[in-house]
Amino acid sequence: MTPNEEWGLTGKVAIVTGGGAVGDGIGNGRAACILLARAGAHVLVVDRDIALAERTVAMIAEEGGSAAAASYDVTRSSECEAMVKDAVARWGRLDCLDNNVGIGSKGTVVEETEENWARVMHVNVDTMFLSCKHAIPAMIKTAGGGSIVTISSISALRPRGLTAYSVSKGAVIALTQAMAVDHGPDNIRANCVFPGPVYTPMVYARGMTDQARDSRRKASVMGKEGNGWDIGMAVRFLLSEQARFITGQVLGVDGGATLVGPARASQ
């Protein structure tokens, strides 16, 4: 692999949480891992299931890229701290963090249980808080700054019967913008990507019907759905030097779905 120098990522170190995917499927995290490696970064691929992370690393190795697999529970502060120390121990610095971990949920505030509400907030928001809490000091110390991307969702801006999920993804946007303000003086950039109707392993593993998939396609003003590569390319851009003057922004990768009226979840 000959790194693409235009991204300014050669020799930099990135952590991608949720970097695995089932089989050879291309999810948001795996796509980001591969694209960052193609740009010359060293990538720590983190996934709860080490086998999924190892497959991502193998795909990167097949192209001659640099990556390592690791399993950490990013719902735990101590594990996030160990994850950051792992990346620094391997490559001597930390420059980038891509936060992909998240789970879905359905139901209104009346239908939702308190237990599941707390679980969704813990997985979707706390993981990003904890990862960033430990990554930011390491970026400042080892690299003189860095860049963070969080993954939100179109549901944060267009609620559709997924109340706990929508609220959690809205919190991700607020967290990202708060970090951009708080740590801009430290040369830390923080931006957020919200995917629209993208077809990824996490989506089709739930057994999406043809009718539901067609409905998602029609939600885009372009009349088509996106995929993990679309999200990964947005992440690579925001983490790269090409976005050096961009921080606190929320980038929709949704085929224009937020330009039209909301539709409640169909599955």
Specify if 107 maps to a domain.
yes
If one counts the domains in the chain, the total is 1
H-state helical runs in 160-227 = 163-183, 201-204, 210-219
Specify if 261 maps to a domain.
no
Q: Residue 162 is encoded by which pair of tokens?
A: 């997924």
CA dist., res. 49 & res. 47, Å (int): 5
Specify if 265 maps to a domain.
no
pLDDT digits (tens, 9 = 90+) for 52-105: 999 999 999 999 999 999 999 999 999 999 999 999 999 999 999 999 999 999
- Please indicate whether residue 199 is annotated as part of the active site: no
Specify if 66 maps to a domain.
yes
* Average pLDDT for the chain: 92
Specify if 2 maps to a domain.
no
What lies within 8 Å, CB to CB, of 111 at 6+ separation is none
pLDDT digits (tens, 9 = 90+) for 128-183: 999 999 999 999 999 999 999 999 999 999 888 899 999 999 999 999 999 999 99
H/E run at residue 16: strand 13-17
195 backbone dihedrals φ, ψ, rounded to 5°: -75, 150
The pLDDT of residue 204 is 61
H/E run at residue 114: helix 114-121
Residue from 72, 165, 199, 204 carrying the catalytic annotation: 165
What residue type is 255 in one-letter code?
G
Specify if 205 maps to a domain.
yes
Query: Which domain does 45 fall in, by range?
Result: 7-256
Q: Residue 207 sits in a domain of what CATH number? A: 3.40.50.720
**pTM score, whole prediction:** 0.93
Q: Residue 25 is encoded by which pair of tokens?
A: 């499927």
Specify if 267 maps to a domain.
no
The closest alpha carbon to 96, from 142, 149, 175, belongs to 149
